[in-house]
Structure 1
Amino acid sequence: MVDMQLTWLIVSASVLIGLLAFIYQRSAMRGLSYTRYFTKDAVFEGDTVEMVEVISNEKWLPLPWLRLESSIQAGLRFGNQANLDIYSGDIYQNHISLFYLRSYRRIKRHHQVICSRRGLFRLDSATLTTGDPLGLISKAQKFPLNLELLVYPQILALQELPLPNHSWIGELAVRRWIVEDPFLTSGIREYRPGDAMGSINWKATARTGALQVHKRDYTADHRLMICLNLEDSDTMWRNINDPARIELGIRYAATVADQALRSGVETGLICNGHLINGPRESVRIEPSAAADQFELLLSTLARLVLDRTVSMSTLLEELLNEDPVDTDYLLISCHQGEKLRTAADQLLQRGNGVEWMKIPEINDFI
């Protein structure tokens, strides 16, 4: 009799376990959704951004265990959080979370992320795995995300740039070579310390309740072209040997662009690297002072791949073929090789301005 009861108990338990496994096999993934987003589309290197995850179980069947796995590029640092294990490598980091999700339950998780590197960070997908309470069966589903976060290079203080004592870059704020013409008016702007009292627009001031001055146009049309050289020596072929040093040069380029555009200078960029997810072609952005020019330059620098396409001297020679005039060229470079200096001298001889900004070795910089 005892044996009969034990047999019946074993059979009943087996049927129940099998039925439970069958139910989870068919229904575990139904009504399960996952999404992830950043609270900002673009931030600067060193900034913190919030990443939000939303997991929903829109069905009557509870999920006794749920494993979330995703792979994210290194360079985004996540703070410590319960139920989150991070396995980091030099290029990617794997995130694994394990938790329980009741029926008709929605979970929202917030992660504070420090953006330690510039770049374009893509999160293509995440995988959710779940199953029955005993773990006899498991079902996995990949959820596409197509999520991007753009991290701009850090903007440095002007004093951190390796400027010569008599550099025009340090004098951009007073427009050493861009002179305002008092007879050309292009609108109004808010009063700034140092503006002449005679430039105040009293009607606009009365209308807005804040001091407004006439916005003058410029009589000169000088332009600035930032030339960012990814070569760390004049004998380098393609592979960059000191990426940290080149990253410093990228920050220099972003800082100069910021200073120049704030001063109303048309600013552009050429670089012998290429953009991620784009053709392997050198970068060239024509000088402009348009409202979105700074964002364009920052976005380009953020997407820049440290992979040399051609020598910087070749890019300057291509510019010489266009016979440029009235343009100031800033060469941000680790070296001043013979070919590069020859091309720069030719630009100078044709009436353009040329200035060098050497990227120091990191040990010297520190």
Structure 2
Amino acid sequence: MQLTWLIVSACILIGLLSLVYGRWALSGLTYTRYFSRNSAFEGDSVEMVEVITNAKWLPLPWLRLESSIQTGLSFGNQTNLDISSGDIYQNHISLFYLRPYRRIKRHHQVVCSRRGLFHLESATLTTGDPLGFSAEAKTFPLDLELLVYPQILPLQELPLPNHSWIGDLAVRRWIVEDPFLTSGIREYRPGDTMGSINWKATARTGALQVHKRDYTADHHLMICLNLEDSDTMWRNINDPERIELGIRYAATVAAQALRSGVETGLICNGHLLDGPRESIRIEPSSAADQLELILTTLARLVLDRTVSMSTLLESVVNEASVDTDYLLISCHQGEKLRLAADQLRLQGNGIEWMEIPVLEDSQVAASTSASAS
């Protein structure tokens, strides 16, 4: 008889607990999440903070928190946090206890291992009675974003030829010589025009001397980032890590040029995340927010070719662009691309190439590790 009574009492108690938690478990339960800052660079660490509040008399003996986050944000090892990661998303699950009228704040150190715009749209909290017979779930909308800019590399890591102007921007200001500014004489070099010869200096020294031109300050730089990994590529990019390196090159050159006071713009045959499938063009400017605009654009860039880079340059040729220097960051120098670049040069523009090197497997691993460090 006593055993029967104990069983009946236990069933009644379990039923009451299930009824109570089914009705009130989620009441007074709130959840918020935020990053310590809204933007960062590849390789930077940011802090993600979660705040969970139980503003009622009923304790929560177990609370399960689930959320899905894009890969590219690396979380360190932490107690009560289980992470399962796929190619695109990683699922986070944590289980903990929350006492009555208690608020807990959880801090996560996050490494931005790759560039991109990361959305955190929602998190789901599930709780119930102590024995787990009943469970209630609630999804909290977050609408949280973290913008990760491409890494700015040291200039010595760029594949620059010895004569390149990029590493000397602060001194030389620009690549194109201004025929109206003369700063001295120098010895004749192959390719110098007859009109540049200083005949008086030649007679005085006994060797051909030419006018040494200074560099103009009113030319512009247009960075042309080509997403094609070969001149026969259609739309799908076969070597994304190599293109990611080119994106870092573009960010590094833009930062160096704008810090040197050079008006800088960007052309790219990709498109923006959450935007129309249109190629990117930012006109040269030296405004205070130009670097942020370019870095934001590169962070949101989708590796999906819209048109060939030769087509983009041909449209610039048709606009009769002048007094602009074009830096072509590309995996290849195909015939059509070189032809379009030569047409720009004939219009009075400067052309320089920065070829993105082929990465070996070890270099890809090192690049990924460096971004995450």
TM-score, normalised via structure 2 length: 0.85
- Pick the aligned partner of 1:113 from 110, 114, 119: 110
Distance 2:338 2:59 in 1: 70
SS of structure 2 residue aligned to 1:309: coil
Distance 2:3 2:250 in 1: 79
Q: Which residue of 2 aligns with 1:26?
A: 23
8 Å Cα contact 2:173-2:216 kept in structure 1? no
Matched, 1:76 2:73: yes
2:245 is equivalent to residue 245 of structure 1: no
The equivalent residue for 1:343 is 340
* Structure 1 CA distance for aligned equivalents of residues 110 and 174 of structure 2: 42
CA RMSD of aligned residues (A): 1.5
> Which residue of 2 is the match for residue 233 of structure 1?
230
Match of 1:122 in 2: 119
Q: In 2, Cα distance between the equivalents of 1:126 and 1:333?
A: 41
Distance 1:309 1:9 in 2: 73
Contact 2:165 2:175 in 1 (8 A): no
1:154 aligns with 2:151: yes
Equivalent residue number for residue 303 of structure 2: 306
CA offset digits 1:177-202 (Å, max 9, x no partner): 389xxxxxxxxxxxxxxxxxxxxxxx
Output one character per residue of 1:234-291: Cα deviation in whole Å (capped at 9) or x when no partner.
Answer: 0000000000000000000000001000100000001000011111111111100000
Instruction: State whether residues 152 and 299 of structure 1, in contact with CA within 8 Å, keep that contact through their aligned partners in structure 2.
Output: yes
- Tell me which residue corresponds to 1:297: 294
Equivalence for 2:133: 136
Cα pair 2:173 2:262 within 8 Å, conserved: no
Is 1:172 equivalent to 2:169 in the alignment? yes
Aligned partner letter, 1:96: I
> How far apart, in 1, do the equivalents of 2:270 and 2:172 lie?
30
Output the TM-score relative to the length of structure 1: 0.87
The corresponding residue for 1:198 is none
Letter in 2 for 1:313: S
Structure-2 separation of matches of 1:292 and 1:323: 27
CA distance in 1, matches of 2:4, 2:356: 80
Helix, strand or coil for the counterpart of 1:7? helix
1:219 Cα deviation (Å)?
6.7
Give the number of aligned pairs: 325
- Secondary structure in structure 1 of the residue aligned to 2:218: coil
Counterpart of 2:330 (choices 329, 333, 338) is 333
**Which consecutive residues of structure 2, in runs of 5 or more, have no partner in the other structure?**
177-214, 364-373
Contact 2:33/2:50 (<8 A) preserved = yes
Shift of 1:363: 2.1
Unaligned runs of 5+ in 1: 180-217
1:49 matched residue in structure 2: 46
Equivalent-residue separation in structure 1 for 2:46 and 2:330 (angstroms): 32
